[in-house]
Structure 1
Amino acid sequence: MDLTAGMLPVVGAKVSLQAPDGWKVSAPQTVPVLTAGNTKRLRFSVTPPAGVTAGQTVLTARADYLSSAPGRVAVQPFAVAAMPAPPTVDTYAGDLTWLTSTNGWGPPERDRSNGESGAADGHTLTLDGTTYAKGIGAHAASDVEVYLGGRCSVFTSDVGIDDEIDGYGSVTFSVVADGVTLWTSPVLTGASATVPVSVPVTGARHVHLKITPAATSLSGDHGDWAGARFHCA
């Protein structure tokens, strides 16, 4: 977090972080003098309690300090995200907690094709006549984010437009780790052959599986991450 002095210097600042019951934060820090217009970056460690539900939690930063008058206090709430436990064994992408997910037509579906606009109206994932029990069915533009915590080494999948679309649609698939695009497919249509994917993800913490439209029309852009799996043994 940053402590910034305005038009007057900040003197004798004591900065602390307040968290909900059960959370642990590191000790308060002091800043003897911060001259006007300058910023001091402070680092705190934050540990959630065991078994905390993944999602956002609001913490509060408090600074007690002197300026032109004594006894001033500045308080700023901000949100932090508690991550789910990272996988420790080989795990299908559809079995992980999704931190975020967006989709071009209804929600992305676990172990089903995208189907229509409902949450569970897809069909068996099918590419070139081959069926898959596991995977993610989505519709461009789609983005599914998972947390690996640096525990996994390789992501594998077969990708393509599901056979429920009869020969049309046009998309690309991408694997993005910690803001870096690791792999992007060629443009795939409903007539394209299935593309096998094997992407190293060693050390990656946040991975996004993205499907991007490759044409003006979004009709038929039902992409499958068929058998999508992170290898984490």
Structure 2
Amino acid sequence: MPTPAPSLPPTPTPVPVPPPDPAPTGFWLDELPFGHGGNRVPPTGPTVERRQSDWLWQRSGLRLAGASYDRGITVHAPSTVTIDLNRSCSAFDAVAGVDDLAFSPGAVSFAVTGTDGRPLWHSPALRGADAPVPVHVPLAGVRSIRLVVTPVDGFRSAGNLADWADARFTC
């Protein structure tokens, strides 16, 4: 009677190792391209939605209460700027305040909302000499946001220059 040949243990199936999550990428607000909705080439990061935004000035060398900031955007009060994130982002960070170029003595307030109107962050009323306030908004699950500046003192605040300085999205 022949002796059966010894069998080898089964070879384990290799388990694929998922690639690591990519490192977070920063997108500066003053460098964002303007989207038009229905772009032929899908954007790879956040875009400013021109049709849903008021006037804005992407600029460098902003000054708030005497302090200098390298970059950001300046808007008039009242103002709304809509940003489509176009990818998963974790946070929006900035410094908000009245630009030193502003002539109006009135106050403005800053807010970040979801495009569904849900409030995400709000500042106190700020005047030209007031220290700017830090902005940190978690963005988990958010697809687009609105940066809103509202005059607090009616006509006295209208047209004030308001800045979102050192504004950056982490995606």
The TM-score with structure 1 as length reference comes to 0.52
Question: Structure 2 unaligned runs (5+)?
Answer: 1-23, 33-46
Measured on the aligned residues, the alpha-carbon RMSD in Å equals: 1.9
- After TM superposition, the structure 1 = structure 2 runs for residues 136-155 of structure 1, keeping only pairs within 5 Å, are 136-155=73-92
Structure 1 CA distance, aligned partners of 2:160 and 2:106? 5
1:213 and 2:131 correspond? no
Question: Structure 1 unaligned runs (5+)?
Answer: 1-87, 113-123
- Measured against aligned partners, the alpha-carbon deviations of 1:116-175 in whole angstroms (never above 9, x if no partner) come to xxxxxxxx3111222222211001111111111351111110111011125723111011
Aligned match for 1:190, one of 110, 117, 128: 128
Structure 1 CA distance, aligned partners of 2:48 and 2:128? 27
- Structure 2 residue aligned with 1:223: 162
- Structure 1 residue aligned with 2:58: 110
Partner secondary structure for residue 110 of structure 2: strand
Partner secondary structure for residue 30 of structure 2: helix
CA 129–167 in structure 1, closer or farther in 2 if over 3 Å, else same? farther
Structure 2 CA distance, aligned partners of 1:210 and 1:204? 16
Paired positions, count: 131
CA 167–142 in structure 1, closer or farther in 2 if over 3 Å, else same? closer
Please state how far the C-alpha of 1:185 moved relative to its aligned partner: 0.6
Amino acid at match of 2:57: E
The TM-score with structure 2 as length reference comes to 0.69
- Structure 2 residue aligned with 1:99: 49
Question: Which is richer in strand?
Answer: 1
Structure 2 CA distance, aligned partners of 1:230 and 1:155? 5
- Measured against aligned partners, the alpha-carbon deviations of 1:15-49 in whole angstroms (never above 9, x if no partner) come to xxxxxxxxxxxxxxxxxxxxxxxxxxxxxxxxxxx
- Measured against aligned partners, the alpha-carbon deviations of 1:210-231 in whole angstroms (never above 9, x if no partner) come to 1111111134521100011111
- Runs (4+) off by over 4 Å: none
CA 226–137 in structure 1, closer or farther in 2 if over 3 Å, else same? same
- Structure 1 residue aligned with 2:64: 127
- Measured against aligned partners, the alpha-carbon deviations of 1:89-115 in whole angstroms (never above 9, x if no partner) come to 210112223113544xxx210025xxx
Determine what percentage of the aligned residue pairs are the same residue.
37
Structure 1 CA distance, aligned partners of 2:80 and 2:123? 15
Relative contact order higher in (CA < 8 Å, ≥ 6 apart):
2
Aligned match for 1:199, one of 134, 137, 158: 137
